[in-house]
């Protein structure tokens, strides 16, 4: 189709549907994208561009945007909006003039003499992290370039400041003095050291350390792990010192490890991990010819801690502030593996141990 006939079809679509959506295929390193032409004329609002999503989905999102505008909704830059992609929030940034001319070729054709305006719909990765957040899936950075570079760098800085603020938050505990602050549900705060309530510790986001009980997790699960007024009231999160947090965690692991879910201390389930561990165990088994098994067990623990200390010193930039957290994390990991392995041996004793 030549430029003139394409222009005609765009114009006729605008006449019929108020806007036309153009999809551009991926080429070399450049991801596919879809953008609207006509919304500015019909609604007096910016055109929309969506980068990195498959064209039919991007088309649907453009229609949602158009319909929401039509019903009077207003969209601001840098604010999260739901109702576009199922289960996740999206955000908008301005499309700078040079990018608009580079990406949205049809737009200037239609309104030659007007100032064109467009916004980019920004969606997060599968874990609901946006491009500027720590731990975001790198594919989203590649597939969804943020056209407004200043917006991106502002967001990064904003995030960094928030993280710094969180990680510096300290609390004075009656029992433990000045400690890092953690967030714990009211049930664990009150009964966490006496009753098996379960312990759910999600991956750290913004450096905050938090945990809640099984009942709270159940409430959260019902609504897809989104906090709302209802579950916030149910959990009534309290501030606790890191020492108190660690004590409750250790107690819950002791009382009922089945009800403990630690997102950052799960054992990997890949074969490579167990093959590697198997090499150490093989060596220990060989050594039983010359040594007693409890002697080997003790030296194994010493060797593991020796290696973990080495590993920590090599990889941790901020040992001073994170010392207690690191120690607790290794100990919790050891405790979890020991509980798992004991259970496994009890069940399979006959198969594992040849008399
Ligand atoms: Zn709770
Ligand atoms: Zn404390």
Domain of 281, CATH number, reads 1.10.287.3020
Ligand 2 centroid–CA 300 distance in Å is 32
State the pTM of this model. 0.52
Q: Which of 262, 295, 323 is the last residue of a domain?
A: 262
Ligand 2 centroid–CA 246 distance in Å is 9
Any alpha helices (H) in the chain, and if so which ranges?
A: 3-17, 39-43, 55-70, 97-103, 106-110, 138-143, 149-167, 186-191, 214-222, 229-235, 242-255, 271-287, 293-315, 319-352
76 touches 88 (CB < 8 A)? no
Total number of domains constituting the chain = 3
34 and 83 co-located in one domain: yes
In this structure, of 10-14, 54-58, 162-166, 175-179, the range with the lowest mean pLDDT score is 162-166
242 and 95 co-located in one domain: no
pLDDT average, residue stretch 14-42? 91
97 and 212 co-located in one domain: no
pLDDT average, residue stretch 53-64? 95
203 and 279 co-located in one domain: no
29 and 109 co-located in one domain: yes
Give me the residue label for tokens 């433990």: 176
* Ligand in closest contact with the CA of 179: 2
Residue 52 is predicted with a pLDDT of 95
Residue 1's closest CA among 221, 74, 292, 9? 9
114 vs 79, residue with greater confidence = 79
* Ligand in closest contact with the CA of 199: 1
Q: What percent of the chain has pLDDT over 90?
A: 51
The string of pLDDT tens digits covering residues 77-103 is 999 999 998 878 999 999 999 999 899
Ligand 2 centroid–CA 176 distance in Å is 5
Residue 291 is predicted with a pLDDT of 93
Name the residue range of residue 330's domain: 271-352
Q: Which of 142, 165, 188 is the last residue of a domain?
A: 165
* Ligand in closest contact with the CA of 243: 2
pLDDT band at 343 (very low <50, low <70, confident <90, very high): confident
Residues bordering ligand 1, an ion, CB closer than 5 Å: 185, 187, 212-213, 216
Q: Above 90 in pLDDT, residue 345?
A: no
187 and 218 co-located in one domain: yes
Residue 112 is predicted with a pLDDT of 60
194 and 292 co-located in one domain: no
In this structure, of 22-26, 200-204, 233-237, the range with the lowest mean pLDDT score is 200-204
Ligand 2 centroid–CA 164 distance in Å is 22
91 and 174 co-located in one domain: no
17 and 142 co-located in one domain: yes
45 and 127 co-located in one domain: yes
* Ligand in closest contact with the CA of 175: 2
The string of pLDDT tens digits covering residues 224-236 is 888 899 999 999 9
138 and 183 co-located in one domain: no
235 and 282 co-located in one domain: no
Ligand 1 centroid–CA 261 distance in Å is 14
Ligand 2 centroid–CA 172 distance in Å is 8
Q: Which of 239, 262, 285 is the last residue of a domain?
A: 262
């Amino acid at each position: 189709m030549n430029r003139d006939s394409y222009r005609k079809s765009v114009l006729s679509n605008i006449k019929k549907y108020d806007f036309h959506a153009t999809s551009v295929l991926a080429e070399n390193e450049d991801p596919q994208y879809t953008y609207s032409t006509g919304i500015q004329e019909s609604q007096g609002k910016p055109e929309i561009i969506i980068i990195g999503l498959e064209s039919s989905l991007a088309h649907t999102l453009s229609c949602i945007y158009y319909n929401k505008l039509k019903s009077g909704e207003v969209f601001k830059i840098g604010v999260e909006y739901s109702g576009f992609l199922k289960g996740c929030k999206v955000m908008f940034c301005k499309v700078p003039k040079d990018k608009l001319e580079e990406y949205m070729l049809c737009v200037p054709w239609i309104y030659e003499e007007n100032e064109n305006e467009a916004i980019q719909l920004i969606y997060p990765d599968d874990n609901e992290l946006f491009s500027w957040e720590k731990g975001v899936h790198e594919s989203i950075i590649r597939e969804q370039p943020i056209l407004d570079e200043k917006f991106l760098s502002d967001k990064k800085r904003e995030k960094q400041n928030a993280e710094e603020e969180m990680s510096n938050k300290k609390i004075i505990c009656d029992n433990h003095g000045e400690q890092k602050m953690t967030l714990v549900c009211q049930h664990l705060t009150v009964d966490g050291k006496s009753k098996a309530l379960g312990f759910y510790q999600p991956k750290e986001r913004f450096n905050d350390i938090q945990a809640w009980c099984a009942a709270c997790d159940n409430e959260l699960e019902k609504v897809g792990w989104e906090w709302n007024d209802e579950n916030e009231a149910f959990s009534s999160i309290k501030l606790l010192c890191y020492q108190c947090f660690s004590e409750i965690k250790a107690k819950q692991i002791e009382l009922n490890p089945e009800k403990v879910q630690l997102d950052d201390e799960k054992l990997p389930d890949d074969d490579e991990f167990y093959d590697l561990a198997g090499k150490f165990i093989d060596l220990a088994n060989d050594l039983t010819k010359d040594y007693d098994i409890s002697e080997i067990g003790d030296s194994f623990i010493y060797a593991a801690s020796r290696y973990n200390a080495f590993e920590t010193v090599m990889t941790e930039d901020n040992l001073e502030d994170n010392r207690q957290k690191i120690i607790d994390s290794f100990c919790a990991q050891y405790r979890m593996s020991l509980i798992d392995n004991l259970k496994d041996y009890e069940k399979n004793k006959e198969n594992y141990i040849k008399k």
